[in-house]
Amino acid sequence: VDAELNAIKGGGGAHLREKLVAAASRKLVLIADYRKDSEVLGEKWDKGVPVEVSPLAWSTIKRQLERMVPKSRAQGLSTADAMVAFEFSYPIAVLRQAVRKAGPVVTDNGNFILDVSMGKIYDPLAVEQLIKMVPGVIEVGIFSNMATEAWFGNEDGSISCRFARSEMKKQDELGYEFDLTNGKLRNTSTGEPYKYSVFGSDKKKNADLYHSLLAPASRDVYRVLVESDLGMEPIAVPDARQPHCNIYVTPDGLSKKHLVVIITGHGVCGGVWAWNVLVKEGLRAGSVVEYVRGCVRRGYGVLVLNPNENIVAPDGFPETFNTYAGHSTPIHGSETPDEHVGYVWSRIIR
């Protein structure tokens, strides 16, 4: 799975049927472990792109695929100006052989599979189109522009998620907002508090809404920190004139005798303890809001750091690597959580 949620599938030889199911679905969610998470396709997966082909002409198709050039003309560009679609000068196509029987693998549809290696794939859609133009190709194991989100099991046992940019909606667009009187997420039309079973027994709709709320609800915590009785002030890191994220400080917090610095855990936005707790239980359990209030009552200053927003998307908004897949600009001084904490400590706190 690459940064844009394009994917290679077909290791088991069923990518034709998998793609038919994906194309007929309203939403495609990818689930994989950390070994499949990459910046570009082919970066970690070196077994090539599975291509299902007609047995009648597999050798001819193999020769044609191996004559493909990496220059992409998918957008009508000249060869000189065209984007390089893949890494190798020419692909290498290998007929997949069966393991416990003689001869090639035969798919459930009675076809053969060519595994086509081309190194890193920089333009998955163009590569998919180029391969499909070869007569006799049945289907290509590149799933481009199909997935809306991807969930990864990490090596340390944690789970991270990335959303396709087009799928990330604002919380108010989904019809929900935090009720500042009780901290619960509520429906803006009915005033009813959010509950997972909004759509009754329709499990898919319930899950879709829940997952859609995770990222925007987390970002709404920033609004609560600033607009609630806390009145916290954003500080741009490194500064507002360049790509940056915000940290939040209580009024005159940096001049107080005692300063409490809050650093949230892996993957979440600043001020959020856990996405799922925030959505299901509300601000008091899922965010730092009540902790900040408690510190203010004791006369402490509070500084809420934002260690996981390390990049800025093309629209200018800071993002975490868990919630955004696509082209981005690193935030100077906050390229990693450790660098963010070090920058704030040395430039702001001290």
303 vs 291: CA distance, rounded Å: 11
The single residue of 4, 18, 39, 290 carrying the catalytic annotation is 18
Contact, 114 vs 96, CB < 8 A? yes
Q: CA–CA distance from 298 to each of 213, 302, 327 (Å)?
A: 33, 11, 44
User: Per-residue b/e over 113-123, b at no fewer than 16 CB within 10 Å?
Assistant: bbbbbbbbbbb
Using omega within 30 degrees of 0 as the cis cutoff, is the peptide bond preceding 337 cis?
no
Is residue 167 part of the annotated active site? The answer reads no
What size, in residues, is the chain? 350
Nearest to 211 by CA among 161, 173, 247: 161
Structure-block tokens of residue 276: 């799922």
Q: What is the largest CA-CA distance in the chain?
A: 81
**Amino acid in position 272:** V
Structure-block tokens of residue 231: 């009145």
Catalytic residue positions, numbered: 18
